[in-house]
Structure 1
Amino acid sequence: MGDIRWESRLLETMEARASEAAELAAEVTRTSREAPAELAGFAARYLERCGLFPFAHNAGARHVNVLARYDGVRHEGGAAPIPPRERHLVLCGHGGVVRPDDAACLAGALWAAALAARLRVPISGPLTVLLVSGENAGLGVPWVLDRDLIEGPTAAVVAAPSGRAHPAVAQLGRCQFEVRVAARSDGADGAGADAADGDSGIPAGIPAPAGADSVIVKAAAAVLALRRIAEMKAEVPRELADLVEASTRALTGGDGRPAVEFDHVSVNIGTIQGGSAIGTVPQRCVIGVDCGLPFGIDTGPVLGQAHQLLAEAGIQAQVVERGSGAPASLTPASDPIVRSLLGAVREVVDPRAHGVLHPSSGDARWFRERGIPAVQYGSSGQTKNRKTADPTEAAKVYALTVLRYLRTD
């Protein structure tokens, strides 16, 4: 446990000044809607006003990552080197366009760090606040970690929706790809000379020839074939059986049926793009596919299955992987960051709270891939008293987690 006196003081201060968190969440929401590119600057200015010294790092393509470090005392300039094996916690939020629940998580993280600095809360190791952008482009967390912009991180809390009483201690993997279907192709991969973008040139209003090769019909058949990727099943590892069962119960939908099944690949046909007008015959159609991967199935077999299913359906197409695929990942329940955060959630939110395997694949995986234990936490969905997540509640959880993980006793 952390210093009980400081825990009580911080929680009492947050309760008395809860309006600050609500106002900050409203500002985050407004900024992300009106000028999402300015959210990093907004966060940096806020942290600076609160006595921290943020640094903005331009990752390119209009993506800016902001870091600010708190060592338990106010300081200027570069921080002192971190002694070996000292704990160093990263509290990570995501910028850009955010939903109200995301805004509550981000505001809660910023406010928790700001109050710790204002009150000069003693901690035994550094706390780094990280606001990242460019998650899908790899210009956020991986960009920061691969450049050693955070010295010696030992754990991370990702401030993003997971479930009010359900921290995400594990997450499904991710495989995203495009299927490019062409009207005619010189090769088996659908990338022949006739696979260029555009339409056939048949004027609008003139019916296509009876024998015209319809790329849209081919794409429709491809969608039906690709949905069978969901038949790929994996045996749940014995050591994860309890976690999977608890997660299935926690994520049950309103109709009483599981909202997510964790023993097979999930398939979402996210986009279908083809043609430029109703009266033209398109030459090409691109299907965007997003797959959630259970433990035991990686991206390679999924891409291979996509090729096989398309071939069996007689569809010549090109399968192109998009984004950064990743296998399912886990931070063990015995890890100090899991114990610290889960204890905080049980105290602030619900004594029955437990960790879950979450269907999303967010920033926590980048930390885990580099051997840094990570947990995602944030309220999501409505409660009986609120339409959106409570930033004060989130901040209390983050603050207690910081105090307990970076304990001084």
Structure 2
Amino acid sequence: MPATKKQLHDQVLAHKQDLVDLCSVLIRIKNQSPLDPQGPGIDFVRAYLAQHGIDSERLVAAAGEEYPVVYARMGSDQGFHVVLNGHVDVVPAGNPDGWDFDPFGGEVRDGKILGRGASDMKCGLAVLLFSMGVLSDAGADLKGDIRLHVVCDEEIAGSGTLWFCENGYADGADAVIVGEPTGHDTIEIGQKGILHLTLTAHGTPGHGSTGNYKGDNAITKLARVLVNVDDLTAVPGHYLPSQERALANSRTIAERTIDHPKVANVIDHCSANVGVIQGGGKINQVPDLASAQIDIRMPYGCRHEDVVAAVDALLAKSGVSGVEAGYEWISEGNYTDDDSVLVTSVKKNIEDVWGEECLPAYQWASSDAAHYRALGCPTIQFGPANNAGIHGYNEDVDVEDVVHAAEIYMLSLCDMLGIE
């Protein structure tokens, strides 16, 4: 008799220590992007799958031999098609003195798994691998297939997931779950688009000793523009009536997460961060060139012409001439309907396991989920997380969160793949 949904759920709980151990082993693999080789992490993923009878392929994707991807598939051609996506790389740990524990120790202490990548996303990846392993070991009868996409360049804004999407590995997917960190009170169902704005100021060089009277300082000219950059946060998105529920949820999640009286605007308006400033060559010379790179995140329905108009108004308000704007449009705002089978199944299982309300919501950032949504695939992000340590010191995640995430993944996969 094929395994039932209850039996598979019981198997998750019976082997939860194996899951925790898997998290620790993954954290001990030191593969900071771009500092460390990514091969060991990729090789471990393939070895783990092989231990559970799952064939996989190591593929050289767009980023080349140093950043390969792993593809695995289990199940049948007919039925519901699910993609599981995760990344094995982590951001650099930084100064070791900033940590209260070894960032690559994978220690489990006081109900927490400790180390770089615990939340982003070694433990989320462990849940994906563990779920497939349990299904394979049980010989589960899947009414459809599960495709695993693992990349190792996500933390350097890599192209691994885009390559999967461009080369047919997500074709026909009915649901995509990205195991990025969210915590259990939300499912990420939409994200902002990305625009990179470059402001370039042109001036006239001169000797620094007469800089207040002669020459035209490109740096100070640029500065007079940048003091008004927050004006760009007034540019709104444009949402459909069917999105109102998710939009309200998104504001609630933002207010829970970030302590700022106007933080709800980060969901449905543009954000603008001046990330890089360059200018000048010598302290005693009036600079004739300066530039600033600004990361703008655009909400769903934000029109390009609205952003351009806001930048033009910003330049006019600053009262300077000789400043040019350049635009690199990276991605558009994107979302999955909150009443899709994928969202409703995961939401129900989260609430059943945790006994708490879960709010499907839009994210103020962006991720690889956008590539799947561009193909028309319903896509969410859901994974265990303690947000405080992500990309910082003392990253960790609760053991309870990891185990519950595995339960939720298993129950949701059973729902979608016809296991009763």
TM-score normalised over the length of structure 1: 0.80
What is the identity, as a one-letter code, of the residue corresponding to 1:245?
Answer: A
Match of 2:296 in 1: 291
Q: CA deviation at 1:157?
A: 0.3
Over 3 Å counting, the alpha-carbon distance change for 1:254 and 1:264 in structure 2 is closer
What is the identity, as a one-letter code, of the residue corresponding to 2:74?
Answer: Y
What is the identity, as a one-letter code, of the residue corresponding to 1:146?
Answer: E
**Unpaired stretches in structure 2, ≥5 consecutive residues:** 92-116, 389-394
**Aligned equivalent of 2:138, options 101, 105, 119:** 119
Hey, what's the Cα distance between the residues in 2 that align with 1:105 and 1:374?
A: 16
Match of 2:192 in 1: 172
What is the identity, as a one-letter code, of the residue corresponding to 2:51?
Answer: R
Given that residues 226 and 310 in structure 1 are in contact (C-alpha distance below 8 angstroms), is that contact kept between their aligned partners in structure 2?
A: no
Match of 2:129 in 1: 110
Deviations 1:323-376 (A, max 9, x none): 6221x2221122111122212222333431121121122122211111110011
Given that residues 19 and 127 in structure 2 are in contact (C-alpha distance below 8 angstroms), is that contact kept between their aligned partners in structure 1?
A: no
CA RMSD in angstroms comes to 3.0
Q: Are residues 1:318 and 2:319 paired?
A: no
Over 3 Å counting, the alpha-carbon distance change for 1:255 and 1:146 in structure 2 is closer
What is the identity, as a one-letter code, of the residue corresponding to 1:6?
Answer: Q
Number of aligned residue pairs: give it.
375
Q: CA deviation at 1:258?
A: 5.4
What is the identity, as a one-letter code, of the residue corresponding to 2:412?
Answer: T
Q: Are residues 1:406 and 2:412 paired?
A: no
Deviations 1:37-89 (A, max 9, x none): 33334433333333222212221354322211122xxxxxxxx7x24xx2110
TM-score normalised over the length of structure 2: 0.79
What is the identity, as a one-letter code, of the residue corresponding to 1:286?
Answer: S
What is the identity, as a one-letter code, of the residue corresponding to 2:298?
Answer: L
Q: CA deviation at 1:232?
A: 1.6
Match of 1:54 in 2: 56
Hey, what's the Cα distance between the residues in 2 that align with 1:177 and 1:14?
A: 49
Match of 1:149 in 2: 169
Over 3 Å counting, the alpha-carbon distance change for 1:16 and 1:60 in structure 2 is closer
Q: Are residues 1:101 and 2:119 paired?
A: yes
Hey, what's the Cα distance between the residues in 1 that align with 2:147 and 2:193?
A: 26
Q: CA deviation at 1:161?
A: 1.6
Q: Are residues 1:270 and 2:290 paired?
A: no
Given that residues 137 and 323 in structure 1 are in contact (C-alpha distance below 8 angstroms), is that contact kept between their aligned partners in structure 2?
A: no
Hey, what's the Cα distance between the residues in 2 that align with 1:373 and 1:231?
A: 30
Deviations 1:286-340 (A, max 9, x none): 31212222233134431343244224432433333336221x2221122111122
Match of 1:190 in 2: none
Q: Are residues 1:12 and 2:10 paired?
A: no
Q: CA deviation at 1:382?
A: 5.8
Hey, what's the Cα distance between the residues in 1 that align with 2:81 and 2:46?
A: 21
Given that residues 233 and 271 in structure 2 are in contact (C-alpha distance below 8 angstroms), is that contact kept between their aligned partners in structure 1?
A: yes
Q: CA deviation at 1:401?
A: 2.1
**Unpaired stretches in structure 1, ≥5 consecutive residues:** 72-79, 185-199
**Aligned equivalent of 1:242, options 237, 240, 245:** 245
Given that residues 22 and 392 in structure 1 are in contact (C-alpha distance below 8 angstroms), is that contact kept between their aligned partners in structure 2?
A: no
Match of 2:103 in 1: none
Given that residues 368 and 374 in structure 1 are in contact (C-alpha distance below 8 angstroms), is that contact kept between their aligned partners in structure 2?
A: yes
